[in-house]
Structure 1
Amino acid sequence: MAAIQVIRSEWTKIRSVASTVWTLSLAVVVTIALGMLISALSRNDFDSMSTRDQFTFDPTFISFAGMALGQLAMIVFGVLVVANEYSSGMIRTSLAAVPQRGTFLFSKIAVATGLALVVGFATSFAAFFLGQAMLGPHGAALGDPGVLRAVIGGGLYMTLIAVFSMGVATMLRSPMLSLGILMPFFFLISNILGNVSATKRVGQFLPDQAGSKILQVVTPVGDDTPYGPWGGLGIMVVWVLAALLGGYVVLKRRDA
């Protein structure tokens, strides 16, 4: 089967499954709504902040506060795109129709990545503009130094979270197992390693800790991270490529 036909087939699969559509919709709503809420609260609290906190106030980063939960939905989307076929048994039919496993995996990842990229960018820009509207006089403009980079980076960050989850799900081949590992990893283990002094050096090289650096415009006081915004995103890309490579190796060597 030609690659273009496989891509069309994967597009049909994704848009015909209600759970994937709902998870992407949830990512948009949660990210924007929570970002607006935190931005509104920050505006009310700004005058009572210390001088140092006002000096290091990052209005762009504040508007992205909802991404902490929005990425949860992107993780679920990435897992479901891949692992649903294993849980339903449809993977056997898919591989019978497309015996070239590399083509099959590439087409699935390409379609899902394109969709996640569109949703990620739309969410990032909407969260920024609505968040700045909530911040009022304390907000930033898209043309300010570093702001456009952070907004574009927000879309890339959400996309990479989804793609990393696809790679992990391809390796584990189970939605429950994949979510059971990814959720604690991103929402518990990563935060602990990144905030405990003894493990901070390790934690800052984890995919979400490194990738989220792209969202910052103002560097926090005392931040000694050994890489910049694009360097952090580059570290995240390495994690994503490793997950996809691992998924490909497992798909290639194991029976459906």
Structure 2
Amino acid sequence: MAVTQVIRSEWTKIRSVASTVWTLSLALLVTIAFGMLISAVVNHEYGDMSREDKLTFDPTYTSFAGTSLGQLAMIVFGVLVVANEYSTGMIRTSLAAVPQRATFLFSKIAVATALAFVVSLVTSFLAFFSGQAMLGDHSASLGDSGVLRAIIGGALYMTLIAVFSMGVASMLRSPMLSLGILMPFFFLISNILGNVSATKKVGRFLPDQAGSKIMQVVKPFDDDTPYGPWGGLGIMCLWVLAALIGGYVLLKRRDA
């Protein structure tokens, strides 16, 4: 089967599944709503902040506070795109129709990645503008240095979270197992490792800790991270690449 036909088939499968709509919609809504809430709280408490905190205040990064929750919906999206076919048994039919496993897997991931990026880009711009509206006089503007990079970087970050989840789901093949590992890892474990002094130097190289630097415009005084925004995104890309390679290798070696 030609690659274009496989891509068209994967697009039909993805858009016909209800979970695609609700997970991406949830990612958009949660990211924007929580970002607005945090921005409003910060604006209200700005006068009580220390002089050092005011000097390193990052209005752009503040408006992306909802990303920490929105990425969980992106994880669900990425996992379900790949692992649903295993849980329903449809994977056998899909591989019978497309025996070239590389074509099958990467066509699915390409379609899902494109969809995730479009939604993430819209989410990123809306999160920024709504967050800045809540920050009032303490807001940033689109033309400020580093702001546009942070907005586009936020979209790339959310997309890469989804793609990483696709790679992990390709390896584990189970929606429940994949979500059972990814959700606590990104929501809890990674934050602990990144903030505890004993593990901080290791935690900063985890995919979300490194990748989120792309949304940062103002660097805190105590931040001794050995890489910049694009370097952090590059580290995240390596994690994503490793997950995709692992998913492909196991798909090629195992039976459906």
* Shorter-chain TM-score tier: over 0.9
Match of 1:180 in 2: 180
Aligned length in residues? 256
2:78 is aligned with 1:71: no
Give 1:220 shift. 1.0
Give 1:51 shift. 1.1
Distance 2:191 2:35 in 1: 20
After the TM superposition, which of the residue ranges 133-142 and 80-89 deviates more from structure 2? 133-142
| Structure 1 segments (4+ residues) deviating >2 Å | none
Match of 1:142 in 2: 142
What TM-score do the two structures reach when normalised by structure 1? 0.99
SS at 1:233 equivalent: helix
Distance 1:8 1:245 in 2: 23
Give 1:116 shift. 0.3
Distance 1:14 1:198 in 2: 43
Distance 2:52 2:208 in 1: 27
2:140 is aligned with 1:161: no
Match of 2:55 in 1: 55
Distance 2:53 2:196 in 1: 22
Match of 2:45 in 1: 45
Match of 1:122 in 2: 122
Deviations 1:18-38 (A, max 9, x none): 012100000000000010111
Match of 1:99 in 2: 99
SS at 2:25 equivalent: helix
Deviations 1:106-155 (A, max 9, x none): 10000000000001110000000111111111000111011111011000
Aligned amino acid, residue 154 of structure 2: G
Distance 2:72 2:46 in 1: 29
Match of 1:224 in 2: 224
Match of 2:250 in 1: 250
Distance 1:137 1:200 in 2: 34
Distance 1:77 1:228 in 2: 29
Aligned amino acid, residue 13 of structure 1: K
Structure 1: runs of 5 or more not aligned: none
Give 1:53 shift. 1.1
Distance 1:65 1:114 in 2: 24
SS at 1:246 equivalent: helix
- CA RMSD, aligned part only? 0.6
Aligned amino acid, residue 227 of structure 2: Y
Distance 1:190 1:113 in 2: 23
Distance 2:50 2:242 in 1: 43
Pairs within 5 Å for 1:181-220: 181-220=181-220
Identity of aligned residues (%): 82
Give 1:225 shift. 0.2
Distance 2:150 2:107 in 1: 29
Give 1:91 shift. 0.1
Aligned amino acid, residue 75 of structure 1: I
2:35 is aligned with 1:35: yes
Give 1:73 shift. 0.1
Match of 2:19 in 1: 19
Deviations 1:35-74 (A, max 9, x none): 0111111111111111111111100000000000000000
Deviations 1:130-182 (A, max 9, x none): 11111111000111011111011000000000000000000000000000110
Distance 1:200 1:120 in 2: 28
Aligned amino acid, residue 101 of structure 2: R
Distance 1:169 1:83 in 2: 6
What TM-score do the two structures reach when normalised by structure 2? 0.99
Distance 1:164 1:140 in 2: 31
Distance 1:5 1:192 in 2: 44
